[in-house]
Structure 1
Amino acid sequence: MLKELWYRKQYCTYTHPAICIQSSLVYASTVQQSPRQVATTVLSVSIEMAQLSKTFLTKLTKFKGLKPREYAALKDCIEEVSDGVDRLSQSVQELKTMGRARGKDFIWHMSNVETWVSAALTDDNTCMDGFSGRALNGRIKSSVRAHMINLAQVACNALALCNHFSA
């Protein structure tokens, strides 16, 4: 309980604190109070969640009775989530390879990370664009929306933690 309170105070005072705690607290003992390690860990959690969402979306494409527009929207969404996974992976690699960069080098690396995480968030939002309009209201849209909201909240927290680290 004490570890959770410390972790929450240090790192999860962002937009979605409950999601932050739920998705990353299990790693609290391994990050050893390092903002860089916290950022890397939460980005890795975001990648895992995005990959799970991609698997979920792929399973949805196999449902019988899908409308052609639902199928097309799901395929587009899978591509957007895949792009997000790539961008989040780039961010983790950037954090790992930046070493002990200081000054302008540190700012440049962190700018890359923040840009890629922001782009992954945009990918999550773009996924839902294919489901706009009343014609696609229903269980598929609701299920996709729930997954994308959860994924976006985790990615939003990852971005906030990266911003915290860069400050």
Structure 2
Amino acid sequence: MMTKRLHLLFFLVVVAASFQCLRQSVAFTVIVDPAADFNPSATTFIRTSCNATLYPGLCYTSLSPYYNAIQQSSGKLARVAIALTLTKARHMASYLSTLSREADYSTNSRAASALRDCFTNLGDAVDEIRGSLKQMRQLAITGAGGEQFRFRMSNVQTWMSAALTDEDTCTDGFEDVPEDSVKKDVCDRMTYLKEFTSNALALVNSYANREMA
């Protein structure tokens, strides 16, 4: 009798736990399912806007998941593009920091110097992208138009251009370094980051041109 009761109790516990997991699964699906509030107009807007960039495919695939935040706003599109670029740049800076500690360049001073310079340049780029995002967030509060808008947009355009130059300088520093896996990996990753930065700058310019026309 005691064994049967234990089996019955175990069965009820399993059923209750399964039911609770099912409820949580359904609730989670409702919350995160992007199809629940899919906005084709917003994704079309993003695709069309990305045609103004040098890397439209990357632009669309990286930004379209944020269609709810972007809607059909050029300002929000540029702001999200900068925020995404900042995230990529920070990840790259973290990678370079780790690499500079782990890589054995004791026999190749040029490679070690290039890596240090690249890290410094990327640090400058991160600061410039962060400053650009701060300016864009201020614009979201103050709105478009007027001298304040022109001033902030000029800052964003200048800093994003500078960030792209700093990223170019990073890869340029490896030109005289002998080919190896570290050089290839760094340059490939930096090229990928530069594509994000270039796209963000193009979207910023499109937004500025539209609002200041």
Report if TM-score (shorter chain) is over 0.5: yes
**Does residue 164 of structure 1 match 2:206?**
yes
Residues 2-56 of structure 1: CA deviation (Å, up to 9, x unaligned): 45444211x2111101211232221111112111111111000000000111111
The 3-state SS of whatever aligns with 1:136 is coil
Is the Cα–Cα contact under 8 Å of residues 78 and 203 in structure 2 kept in the other structure?
Answer: yes
The residue that corresponds to 2:157 in the other structure is 114
Is the Cα–Cα contact under 8 Å of residues 45 and 72 in structure 2 kept in the other structure?
Answer: no
The residue that corresponds to 2:112 in the other structure is 71
**Does residue 25 of structure 1 match 2:64?**
yes
Of residues 39, 47, 50 in structure 2, which corresponds to 1:12?
50
* Aligned equivalents of 1:60, 1:12: Cα separation in 2: 33
- 1:146-157 aligned at under 5 Å gives the runs 146-157=188-199
- 1:132-143 aligned at under 5 Å gives the runs 132-133=175-176, 135-143=177-185
Q: Which has the larger radius of gyration?
A: 2
Residues 110-143 of structure 1: CA deviation (Å, up to 9, x unaligned): 111000000000010011122112x432211111
- 1:58-97 aligned at under 5 Å gives the runs 58-66=97-105, 67-97=108-138
Calculate the TM-score normalised by the size of structure 1: 0.90
Change (3 A) 1:64 1:159: closer
Of residues 100, 103, 128 in structure 1, which corresponds to 2:171?
128
The residue that corresponds to 1:57 in the other structure is 96
Aligned-residue offset at 1:91: 0.6
Amino acid at match of 2:198: C
Q: How many residues align?
A: 165
Deviating more after overlay: 100-109 vs 49-58: 100-109
User: Once superposed, what is the RMSD of the aligned Cα atoms?
Assistant: 1.7
Deviating more after overlay: 138-147 vs 67-76: 67-76
Residues 53-78 of structure 1: CA deviation (Å, up to 9, x unaligned): 11111222233432232222111111
Deviating more after overlay: 117-126 vs 98-107: 98-107
The 3-state SS of whatever aligns with 1:65 is coil
Aligned-residue offset at 1:97: 1.5
Gaps of 5+ in 2: 1-37
Calculate the TM-score normalised by the size of structure 2: 0.72
Gaps of 5+ in 1: none
Amino acid at match of 1:83: D
